[in-house]
Each structure stands twice: as structure tokens, then as C-alpha cells.
Amino acid sequence: MTPDSKVGASGMDRRQFIKISALAGGGLLVASGFDGAEHLAAAAAPTGLAPVADFAPNVFVSIAPSGVVTLIAPNSEMGQGIKTSLPMIIAEELDVKWEQVTVVQGDLNPAYGRQFSVGSGSTVANYTAMRRAGAAARAVLVQAAALEWNVSASECTTANGVVTHAASKRTATYGALATKAAQLPTPANVTLKDPSTFTLLGTRIAGVDNRKIVKGAPLFGLDVTLPGMLYATYTKCPVFGGELVSANLDDVKAKPGVRDAFVLRGIAGLPSGVAVVADSTWNAFSATKALKVQWNEGPQVAQSSREMAEQAAALAKANAPASLPSGTRAVDAVYHYPFLAHATLEPQNCTAWYHDGVMELWTPTQIPSSGQGLVMKGLGLSAKEVQVHITRLGGGFGRRGSNEFSIEAAAIAQKCAGTPIKLTWTREQDFAHDNYRSNGWHFFSAGLDSQGKVVALHDAYIKMLGGPGEMSAAGFPFNAIPGSQVNSGKLRGGIPTGYWRAPGDNGNVWATQSFMDELAHAAGKEPLAFTLDLLAAVPASPKFDANKLIAVLKLATDKAKWGQPRVRGEGQGFAICFANNAYVAIVADVAVSQAGELTIKKLTAAVDAGTIVNLSGAEAQVQGSMLDGISAAWFQKVTIERGAAAQTNLNKYPMLRMNHAPPVVDVHFIPSSAPPTGLGEPALPPAAPAVCNAIFAATGKRIRTLPITDDTLRWT
């Protein structure tokens, strides 16, 4: 459904649309999921369609008489390829040609089940259900053909959307069988393919939206257009927690194209601020520049990054682990990483239309139910009165799990009842009001015995109160060293923090993997051998298989030709990570000129992520994760001055450019028939420490504070 279609304007949801279209076309509708089967049965019964028992409608598959298979994807697409991978899973078990499959983005609907794109979990959560849905649909189609031909279903085979009876050589397309199949009961049990027989999964398939993106088709939140729509901005206090006192509304209302300007306050989940509504985004932005607001900045105005560093040192001292064992040689180091913004290419936005007592939202969100909940609570509406249409996301990385833009747009739209309102944040607002990756400090201390073996490892870990990113001695490398300790302390809150790609691991893996390289050199040992020895000492665990991490590390270092002699100024470094149940090792090849100019020549990754659904998509996720990781580590930081972000645009928050990107980014997957793991995040955390460890190998300079540009890499 395009945002300006009649389906959207009428409020008809996608379940209703598919029910009607399937009935009219005489096709077969199949639902897949983990719960809600009764809801599906009730919905399907009036149409005469046969629901698949025991599968909740978190995804619908319809097979039309034409043979086209249509999938409604419940999860938000933000470049992770979910609109491609889910149809591939169905198509594999259904035995249809990929060309027969189309996919439609689903709206928020409780019947769909798990409907959020976070934690690299969309394919993981849907994999088995999608396979069962495809297999169940295929079984019903085979049964329909067998009844038509009066033969046993066991004598029939399927391929490319066609059922064949081997003995008589009779054939029938799925489309021709769909109407009959819809009247048949679904088998209680279905047989899934042996992964060794997969013909589609694991191959290279282009993203289903690629052509539309290249052509500039309207897919994203910023593309939404509704008849009579107006455009809005919303200005909040730049100091976190500040409140509005007064504003020059009359001056703003006099600006060209401005339809209204007003204050919003007293709405749950919405900080007080000024809304400007105009006849174009440009006019709304331009008028906002003339806005003069008196703010009560509140207590957070006293916060600064400098103050936080002082607090972190004091907390680390107060939370210091026990002393190292006597007779050991101490190795101490402090690693610090800064706040990070998400800097999504598409700024936060939402289109809201309040009409007939219903608030309709068109929003690029990772968690649509969160946005719905904010609007319900803030405006006193029920779930039925808040409809959420999910658009494609122009970048997410955890940022669009928060949905402040939804309540902002809805509150403005309620004030302008009957008129659709598109709210767009300026780039400055996007930076100034992010939910940042928390800053963090690791005060490491380790003890080496006379043989260079690590016999003690301690970490006083400090981060902002709230948000993800905890540390535990249960993870590697702490679990390889008996008696390891992690003591945590929290800075006082006030700066909004949230989920940033690979939450927690994005900073903590950089610190721990960098320190492991530091320990290897302090012990006089080769880093690869040092790390393999540590991995061999990890106790067996059902949640963590050290042998898999050993396998990816050996594969990555082998492919990268680890250990070959290099001239001064060139070096290799590696890092490993276990995240989202995937195992990743990355080797970085770098060169650093004597003047300190860094060049990343090559990144080599080895990954064990279970079954690979789409090889092209999987490679893209790993490559993109690595580039994202080195971009943040190399260039990016947000500092807090007087309770506000000091970096509020890309000129002060540089992104990785093509001239900085490594010309070679190799990805190698461990063959596996295990279910797929998360893949959109696990390759990000080890990229930064691999590069930093390579810088040390090239120059002898250790990077303990990010971003890398804050250090001089000059050497002689």
C-alpha cells in the first residue's frame, strides 16, 4: 500500500485487504507464526479460506490463481534485507521460483506476533515458522493435485511452482490448484526439507526493493504524501530535560507559508516545545530559524563530558576490584569510548492524520507498537484508535526503536484535526535529541605470572546510568581466566542513551579485545597464539562454543595471510566477538605514514552465523557492519557541553567516506545447517579493535581513547 492509496485512506488494514483479494481471486491463504491461530481461523472463516492450524498470522502468504506468491512482511525493513530473506525461506519450502514471489510490508497488527526489528532477530524469530508455512502450503497443494488425479500424494513431487505425478507425467501449477487447495484441511504435521537439499537458500538474491530505491520510488517515511498535507517541525530545549517558558509565536506565524505555530506542554512522553506548521518542509524549517524561545534549562545544564570523566575516575577508584595475586606482574590500562549519535541518513519523521476519531500514523519505526503506545498514553486513545503504517527506514541502527517522533507528530495532528501532518526533524534536531550510545570507561588491571600467563583479570567498568551495555565476567576473555572480576559503576543520568548497533558490545568488545592484544605483547607472546590459548581454556557452555570462535579466528587469519613480514608503518591486527549467537573474527591490514595518515588496506572477516539465507544479503550485512564500526571508531564522538550535545551536524560528526573505506573487504562464512543467527550486528564490534591493534603493530602506538582521530599516529 502506498501512503496515498485508497486502502490507506480508508483505514483498511493489510489483513482485510489480503482476505478480500484472496477471496475474489479464489486463491489460497496461508498464515505462519507461533501464536494467535484462533484469531486467524476466525478471520479466515467468513471468506471460506482454510487457515493453517497451529500457526499464528505473524506473516501471511497468499497464492493467487496466477501462481504469484505474496508475503506480508511484519518486520520493519531498514536495509537488513528482511523483505527479501523471509520470502526466500517460504519459497524454498514451497518449491516456487523466486520470480513468482512478491512481498508487501505489513502494518502494525497484533495478529502478526513479533513485529519489531531489533537485536538482529527478525529472520531468527521467523525462520522455523516460515519454513513450516511453506511446507504446509506445499503439502496442501500436493493433496489437491492427488485428489484431482485420484492418485496417492506420495506419488507426486513439486518443483518451481508445479506439482507432477511421476507415473502419468501429469502436471498442475500451484495457481491452478490454489482454489481447490483452499478447501482442504491442513496436515497436522509437515516434513521440512533437509538443508542439504536447499536450492534457493544460501544463493545470491538481490533485495526486493533495489530497483525501486534506484528509481527513487516512494518507500521511506519522508516519501509519504497525503492529500491536503501540511508540514511541521517541533523545537525542544537543547539542554536535556529543559522546559519551555515563552516563545515569539506571533513573529513565527508571520513568516512565509506558515499556517500555525503553537506550544505543546503537559502531554505524557512529550517534552514541552514549539510546533511550527507550514505549507512545505522548507517553509517550516525556515520559520523555525526565526524562533526565539526562553528555556528553563534545568539541572542538566551543569553536565559536561569533562565532568563525566572526573566522575568516572572517582567511581572506578571506589569500585576497584580486589588486589592482584602477589608475585604477578601488573598490566594496567584505561580505555574510553565516547557517546555516539545514530546519524541515520533519513532524519526522524512521522506523518500523522487525526480523522474520524482515529489517529493514523505513517512512520519509519523499528518497534511500531512502541510508537502506538506513546500516542495512546500521551493522547488518551485506545489501540483501535491508533493505526500504524510501517514505511521503509532510511537507517535504523537502534535509533528508531525509540518513537518520540510519533507522539510529536500525533500531538500536532490532533491540534490540526482533519489535516494530515508530516513532521520532519532537522539534521540539527536529529543530533541534538538522539538517544546516544553511552560513553564508557574500562579501568583494566591484569596479572601475569613469570611465564607470561594471565592469572588475573579485573575491570572497573563505568557508564551512564540507564541504557544497554552492561559487562559481565561470564563473557570472553574473563571466562577463560578463573577469578576474573568486573565491577560496574554508573554515572548520574540525564543524558538520553539507547540502543546503538550491537548494543554494549560496540564499545566493550573494542576495549577488551584491544586490551587482550596489549596483554599479549606485555607477555612477550604472539597475539594469535596468545588468544588461541585463552580460548582453549574457556569452560564448556551450552550458550557459548569456544571451538566455533577458534574456527572463525583460524579461518580469518588464514585468509588474511596472518603473520607475514611487513615493513615499518604496516601492520595487521585481529579481534573476535560472540554476539547475537554469531561468531566473528576480523583481521585488519593497515598502513600508517610517518606523518600519521591512516589507510585501512583490507578487512577480512570469518563468520559462523548458522544457515545463510541470502548470501548477498549476508555479505552486505557483515561488510556494512565492519564499515560502520570503523567509521565510528575512526571519526565520531558526541561530547556534552552545558547539558547539550556539542556536535549537531555532519560537519562536526564525520562519516566514513569512500576515500577512507578499505578497497578490499572479504567475508567468509563457515558452512552450517544450524538455524540462522543474528547477522546485522555481530561484525561491528570486532572491526574497531582489529584496526586499532593493527595500528599498534604498524607504529607501536596504542589507541586507548576513541575516536582514533583524537590521537596522533605520527611515528619515526
**The three cell numbers locating residue 419:** 489535516
- 707 and 338 in contact (C-beta within 8 Å)? yes
d(CA 267, CA 182): 49
Q: Report the SS3 class of residue 396.
A: coil
Q: Give 668-707 pLDDT, tens digit per residue.
A: 999 999 999 999 999 999 999 999 999 999 999 999 999 9
- 655 and 635 in contact (C-beta within 8 Å)? yes
Q: Give 501-513 pLDDT, tens digit per residue.
A: 999 999 999 999 9
Given a cut of 50, is residue 4 above it in pLDDT?
A: no
Q: Beta 273-278 vs 258-264: how paired, if at all?
A: antiparallel
- 177 and 138 in contact (C-beta within 8 Å)? no
d(CA 379, CA 22): 36
What is the maximal distance between C-alpha atoms in the chain?
A: 85
If phi > 0 it is left, if psi is from -120 to 50 it is alpha, else beta; for residue 652 that is alpha
- Average pLDDT, stretch 49-64? 44
Q: Give 132-191 pLDDT, tens digit per residue.
A: 888 988 999 999 999 999 999 999 999 999 999 999 999 999 999 988 888 888 887 889
d(CA 422, CA 32): 34
**The three cell numbers locating residue 13:** 488494514
Neighbours of 638 (CB within 10 A): 23
- H-helix or E-strand containing 640? strand 640-641
- Average pLDDT, stretch 255-280? 98
- H-helix or E-strand containing 697? helix 687-699
Q: Report the SS3 class of residue 55.
A: coil
pLDDT of residue 50: 35
What secondary structure does DSSP assign to 157-196, as a single string? EEETTEEEETTTTEEEEHHHHHHHHTTSPPPS--PPPPGG
Q: Give 83-123 pLDDT, tens digit per residue.
A: 899 889 989 999 999 988 888 888 998 877 788 898 888 88
- 440 and 337 in contact (C-beta within 8 Å)? yes
Q: Report the SS3 class of residue 549.
A: helix
- 663 and 440 in contact (C-beta within 8 Å)? no
d(CA 167, CA 152): 11
Q: Give 569-592 pLDDT, tens digit per residue.
A: 999 999 999 999 999 999 999 999
Rg (CA), the chain: 28
Q: Which residue has the higher pLDDT, 669 or 33?
A: 669
pLDDT of residue 3: 38
Percent of the chain clearing pLDDT 70 (strictly above) = 92
d(CA 677, CA 85): 13
Given a cut of 60, is residue 476 above it in pLDDT?
A: yes
- Average pLDDT, stretch 225-244? 97
d(CA 31, CA 54): 9
If phi > 0 it is left, if psi is from -120 to 50 it is alpha, else beta; for residue 573 that is beta
Strand partners, 665: 603
Q: Do domains 6-215 and 505-710 have the same CATH topology?
A: yes
Given a cut of 60, is residue 612 above it in pLDDT?
A: yes
Average pLDDT, the chain: 90
Q: Where are the domains of the chain?
A: 6-215, 227-298+348-424, 505-710
- 229 and 352 in contact (C-beta within 8 Å)? no
pLDDT of residue 291: 97
Looking at residue 200, what DSSP letter applies? S
Half-sphere exposure (Cβ direction) of 41: Cα atoms closer than 13 Å? 10
pLDDT of residue 54: 21
Given a cut of 50, is residue 72 above it in pLDDT?
A: yes
pLDDT of residue 367: 95
User: Would you call the peptide bond into 87 cis, given omega within 30 degrees of 0 as the criterion?
Assistant: no
Phi, psi torsion values for 118, nearest 5 degrees? -145, 160
Among 94, 207, 339, residue whose Cα is nearest residue 624: 207
**The three cell numbers locating residue 37:** 491461530
- H-helix or E-strand containing 693? helix 687-699
Given a cut of 60, is residue 21 above it in pLDDT?
A: no
- Average pLDDT, stretch 1-10? 34
d(CA 183, CA 435): 51
User: Would you call the peptide bond into 707 cis, given omega within 30 degrees of 0 as the criterion?
Assistant: yes
- 488 and 471 in contact (C-beta within 8 Å)? yes
Instruction: Work out whether the CA dihedral 183, 184, 186, 191 comes out positive or negative.
Output: negative
Helix axes 368-379, 404-415, angle to 10 degrees: 40
For Cα atoms 393, 62, 4, give the angle at the middle one, nearest 5 degrees: 40
Instruction: Work out whether the CA dihedral 101, 104, 105, 110 comes out positive or negative.
Output: negative
- Average pLDDT, stretch 285-311? 96
Q: Cα 571 vs. chain centroid, distance in angstroms?
A: 32
Strand partners, 105: 73
- 604 and 585 in contact (C-beta within 8 Å)? no
Amino acid identity of residue 467, one-letter, is G
pTM to 2 decimals? 0.91
d(CA 667, CA 681): 14
pLDDT of residue 40: 30
What's the CATH number of domain 6-215, 1.10.645.10, 3.90.79.10, 3.40.50.300, 3.30.365.10?
3.30.365.10
pLDDT level of residue 192 (50, 70, 90 thresholds): very high
Residue written as cell 546510568? 465
Cα dihedral 77→82→83→86 (10° resolution): -150
Residue written as cell 595471510? 561
Strand partners, 30: 61
Q: Return the HEC string of 109-141.
A: CHHHCCCCCCCCCHHHHHHHHHHHHHHHHHHHH
pLDDT level of residue 60 (50, 70, 90 thresholds): low
Amino acid identity of residue 355, one-letter, is H
Q: Beta 454-464 vs 440-448: how paired, if at all?
A: antiparallel
pLDDT level of residue 15 (50, 70, 90 thresholds): very low
Task: Classify domain 505-710 at the CATH class level.
Answer: alpha beta
pLDDT of residue 278: 98
pLDDT of residue 340: 98
Could you tell me the fold of the domain covering 227-298+348-424?
A: Aldehyde Oxidoreductase; domain 4 (3.30.365)
pLDDT of residue 185: 83
